[in-house]
Amino acid sequence: MTKAMDPRWHDTPWQQALSQSSPAIARLLERTLEGAELGFDEGLALANVESTDLLALVKVADELRRRTVGDCLTYVVNRNLNFTNVCFVGCGFCGFSRGPKAKDAYFHSTETLLGKARDAVALGATELCIQGGLPRDLKGAYYADLLRELHGALPELHLHAYSPMEISYGVEKTGLSLPEHLASLKAAGLGSIPGTAAEILDDAVRGELSPNKLTVTRWIEVIRAAHQAGIPSTSTMMYGHTETRAHWVRHMLLLRDIQKDTGGFTEFVPLGFIHSETRLFQKGGARAGASFAEDLIVHALARLLLNNHIPNLQVSWVKLGFEGALACLEAGANDFSGTLMEESISKAAGADYGESVLPGELRAMIRSIGRVPAERYTTYEIRRRFDTPDADERLPVERMPATTARTPVALGY
């Protein structure tokens, strides 16, 4: 199904949408515009909106985004490096991992990874995003050694590497304490870590999705230790599987509490569950990903609940598709993620939105919704703002459905 904003939404001012919403929802939305911090019950009420209340939620989230971070819409030129797909953890939602003897199992050599990193630099990348599976026989020193090689060869690249699950595995494999392991990674060139492996920060849900994954307590421990060591991280949430809307709200409020203490999250990234090639879905253990309405609600709700503490809200175009990503960028989000150049994790789970996007394509899409594109660094400093269109800008039309095919789903009209 195409995920696209109903064209009528573009033309509805937020004040009009607010005036058409139910009194209780309108009051909550007005309070967020006044800067109030909403709690669980209020967040849950907003997570369950429909119809005109959904329109008001989206429009107010977009207005709050405009007031907080303006009309500049950022992206990063980066490359994904997945050094191995061998993993013993067995998460039910993962279509990427393989056993060590699988025909398509791989473990790239450091030379190969260096070659991919050099290619990325030649294409203008400022960031490498490095993650992999967890092979049983991995040497603990591997994590720091790889960073040292990459950082030594290409010191200009920001190394955004290793999920809390991988950090925790590194602790186990090296025998170092968590702060010692993080210090050794930082000394080797680590710039920041992806706040992935969060899924839903609820141990019961995690038990259904991936019983061998690190616990909520351990995820928080790793993230707090990283922030304390001066290593920022992203924050994420995977939705659209077995969780309820109450889980979304608790998850976001937990991240907000951590951020109040550490200030170490650079952004929040909602990640829709890609279901088709996963064991979890094939065995009937999860629903088939989020609806378009849920995508909009999650992004808008994140803007309202996190705005004062985590102002950067990123869309994942590999999960949402370009049309869905643009819709969420008009529902409170302000960052388009990155060029990726080689995306394999979502693709392996059944995503069909491509493995890379050109910076000029991102800029053209950003301009198509009336915003100003800007390339950023990993930590959100602006590298270059593009106030006027340039020759490289073109819409990735072959990968976007025709406007006439847009499906205004779940809006209650």
Q: Give the shortest CB-335-to-ligand SF4 separation in angstroms.
A: 23
Q: Is 87 in the site for ligand SF4 (CB under 6 A)?
A: yes
**Closer CB to ligand SF4, residue 61 or residue 345?**
345
Instruction: Candidates 90, 99, 115, 263: give the one binding ligand SF4 (CB under 6 A).
Output: 90
**Closer CB to ligand SF4, residue 223 or residue 300?**
223
Q: Give the shortest CB-265-to-ligand SF4 separation in angstroms.
A: 21
DSSP 234: E
Q: Is 162 in the site for ligand SF4 (CB under 6 A)?
A: no
Are 239 and 275 in contact, with CB atoms under 8 Å apart?
A: no
Q: How many residues does the chain have?
A: 413
Q: Which of 168, 101, 161 is nearest to 134 (CA)?
A: 168
- Interface characters, 228-267, with ligand SF4 (x: CB under 6 A): ----------------------------------------
**Which H or E run contains 238?**
strand 233-239
CA pair distance 330, 64, nearest whole angstrom:
11
Instruction: Candidates 74, 97, 259, 316: give the one binding ligand SF4 (CB under 6 A).
Output: 97
Are 375 and 382 in contact, with CB atoms under 8 Å apart?
A: yes
**Closer CB to ligand SF4, residue 57 or residue 94?**
94
Point out which span in 88-96, 179-187, 243-251, 328-336 binds ligand SF4 (CB under 6 A).
Answer: 88-96
Q: Give the shortest CB-106-to-ligand SF4 separation in angstroms.
A: 13
Q: Give the shortest CB-133-to-ligand SF4 separation in angstroms.
A: 4
Instruction: Candidates 25, 76, 134, 411: give the one binding ligand SF4 (CB under 6 A).
Output: 134
**Closer CB to ligand SF4, residue 169 or residue 386?**
169
Q: Report how many residues bind ligand SF4 under the rule CB under 6 A.
A: 11
Helices marked H in 330-387: 345-348, 359-368
**Closer CB to ligand SF4, residue 52 or residue 210?**
210
Q: Is 91 in the site for ligand SF4 (CB under 6 A)?
A: yes
- Interface characters, 209-228, with ligand SF4 (x: CB under 6 A): -x------------------
Instruction: Candidates 76, 94, 205, 340: give the one binding ligand SF4 (CB under 6 A).
Output: 94
CA pair distance 406, 250, nearest whole angstrom:
33
CB burial string 79-95: b at 16+ within 10 A, e below: bbbbbbbbbebebbbbb
**Which H or E run contains 191?**
strand 190-192
Instruction: Candidates 54, 144, 147, 165: give the one binding ligand SF4 (CB under 6 A).
Output: 165
CA pair distance 101, 251, nearest whole angstrom:
37
Instruction: Candidates 26, 33, 45, 89: give the one binding ligand SF4 (CB under 6 A).
Output: 89
Q: Give the shortest CB-88-to-ligand SF4 separation in angstroms.
A: 8
Point out which span in 60-68, 85-93, 181-189, 295-303 binds ligand SF4 (CB under 6 A).
Answer: 85-93
> Hey, which residues does 374 pair with through a beta bridge?
74, 385
Task: Break the chain down into helix, strand, coil percent, rounded to 5.
Answer: 45, 15, 40
Q: Which of 296, 236, 229 is nearest to 265 (CA)?
A: 236
Q: Give the shortest CB-166-to-ligand SF4 separation in angstroms.
A: 8
Q: Is 133 in the site for ligand SF4 (CB under 6 A)?
A: yes
Are 142 and 119 in contact, with CB atoms under 8 Å apart?
A: no
Q: Is 135 in the site for ligand SF4 (CB under 6 A)?
A: no
Q: Give the shortest CB-308-to-ligand SF4 separation in angstroms.
A: 31
**Closer CB to ligand SF4, residue 94 or residue 310?**
94
Point out which span in 60-68, 92-100, 278-286, 330-338 binds ligand SF4 (CB under 6 A).
Answer: 92-100
Q: Which of 152, 124, 35 is nearest to 375 (CA)?
A: 124
Q: Give the shortest CB-375-to-ligand SF4 separation in angstroms.
A: 29
**Closer CB to ligand SF4, residue 133 or residue 272?**
133
Q: Which of 10, 15, 9, 11 is nearest to 51 (CA)?
A: 9
Structure tokens at 197: 């492996």
DSSP 314: B
CA pair distance 213, 215, nearest whole angstrom:
6
With left for phi above 0 and alpha for psi between -120 and 50, is residue 35 left, alpha or beta?
left
Helices marked H in 307-382: 317-329, 345-348, 359-368
CA pair distance 244, 241, nearest whole angstrom:
9
Q: Is 317 in the site for ligand SF4 (CB under 6 A)?
A: no
Contact positions vs ligand SF4 (CB under 6 A): 87, 89-91, 94, 96-97, 133-134, 165, 210
